[in-house]
Amino acid sequence: MAGKSREELQDVSRENIEYIFDYMKSKLQVVNTAAVSAKSFDTDQYEELLDLYEFLCMKESFSMSEMQSIVSELGKLRKKS
């Protein structure tokens, strides 16, 4: 599953955040899509989200510990309500 390049996603925008999250949900085969919602993230965390996106693009599959780490990292990046 090929995603967009970093260059294609260089502009910080809600649209690009939505794209990144749609890709993440598909790549990680997320069942509970509400748990991974682009609305929970601000553009302030864009570079970190883009780094995580690039990591996901490089790998074909993920171990359980990698998936837990990814979810943990997303939890850290989530905006505070």
> Along the 81 residues of the chain, how does pLDDT read in single tens digits?
578 999 999 999 999 999 999 898 888 887 666 667 888 888 888 999 999 999 999 988 888 899 888 888 888 888 765
- Full domain range(s) for residue 48: 17-56
CB 24 within 8 A of CB 30: yes
How many CA atoms lie within 13 Å of 50's alpha carbon, on the beta-carbon side? 19
- Does residue 34 form part of some domain? yes
- Does residue 42 form part of some domain? yes
pTM comes to 0.82
The string of DSSP codes covering the chain is -----TTTT-S--HHHHHHHHHHHHHHTT-S-GGGS-GGG--GGGHHHHHHHHHHHHH-S---HHHHHHHHHHHHHHSPP-
- Does residue 35 form part of some domain? yes
pLDDT at 1: 59
- Does residue 77 form part of some domain? no
Number of domains present in the structure of the chain: 1
